Structure 1
Amino acid sequence: MRALLKILIVGAALWVTTLVVDGIYVQADSLIERLLTFVCVGLIFGIVNVVLKPIIHVLGCAFYILTLGLFALVVNGGLLLLTGWLSGLLRLPFHVAGFWPAVWGALIISVVSWALGLFIRV
């Protein structure tokens, strides 16, 4: 149940991101298709984070220290860009147009997920 709530929170954060950031969008015709896309992309984003983020943290430890953690924005942007690419491979109508929209999108996703996590105990 916890994992499902986290996926729904990330899906909601992705929805907010598509509203705020130019360059991240969903090209779905119906509301149901849009909702399913957000849930599926939330699942993909969660899997990418669980698999790759620990490896990147270990390999890039010096960059995190040197940049006082700002390197995390670059890493999260790259992971969102990878999620957009994987979504394209799976024929999901979710698109990330480039690196900077991915960085801003990752920042928005982090903030919105954190805020929703305050209200919904996960």
Structure 2
Amino acid sequence: MKKLLLISALLFSGGVWAECSTAKIPKIKGMDSITYDDKGRSSLLENGWKPIPLSKQEQEDMTFFNKKTPEKYCSATMCISTFQDNNKNELTVTQVGDFISDIEIECSIKQ
């Protein structure tokens, strides 16, 4: 339930859920893939999100691995990029075709 509320807060307000102590999340929903790679990714990096690179095995398994976007995994129908902030929260961007179809944030649990 908490995850759904976070996604809703992100998609509708472009803000950050108060309980998820996280880096700023810029609005990127709906950008086309070219804009995302050029502007959306840069915006995430500027706001404190760091790419989570694919493992060496994942890189070797991919036909078209791009070193400029080491966090991006693409299949025939979609691409997934994952980032992490300083608080170990994870943000995942899913692109289907030319459009971002989903942005999801998973908050780390502080103990």
Q: What's the TM-score once normalised by structure 1's chain length?
A: 0.29
Structure scoring higher RCO (CA < 8 A, sep ≥ 6) equals: 1
Choose between structure 1 and 2: higher strand proportion.
Answer: 2
Structure with the largest fraction of helix: 1
